[in-house]
Amino acid sequence: MTLQEYRRLIDETDAQLLALLNRRAELVIAVARLKHAQGLPVHIPTREKEVLAHVVTSNRGPLDNQAVQRLFESIIAESRRLEHQVLGTLEDTPTVSGNQ
């Protein structure tokens, strides 16, 4: 395989990763809304530890476990930022009441 062919495959893989990350973000938004409705905090450390443990134990390489953990720590941090952004929007939106 040529360098150009490998680069094309990498570009295709990057597009798939981007689609998956955006799908994950859509799920994060849904979770943020549920957390808001249930009065739960954005940051739940035990859940983050579960996610990190799961991806590390599921890792089959060639990325080492530390690399996988760092990648998912970044994904989780961006997910948490997105949740805060969504919650800020939800909190700025007046609730609908029957007394209007």
Burial class (CB in 10 A: 0-12, 13-18, 19+), 86: buried
Write the pLDDT tens digit of every residue in 27-46: 999 999 999 999 999 999 99
> What's the average model confidence in pLDDT over 12-30?
98
CATH class of the domain comprising 3-90: mainly alpha
Domain boundaries, the chain: 3-90
Residue 3 token pair: 């360098």
DSSP of 20-86: HHHHHHHHHHHHHHHHHHHT--S--HHHHHHHHHHHHHH--SSS-HHHHHHHHHHHHHHHHHHHHHH
39-92 pLDDT, tens per residue?
Answer: 999 999 999 999 999 999 999 999 999 999 999 999 999 999 999 999 887 665
CB half-sphere exposure, 98, CA atoms < 13 A: 0
> What tokens were used for 81?
């930022």
| pLDDT value at residue 91 | 60
The model's pTM: 0.84
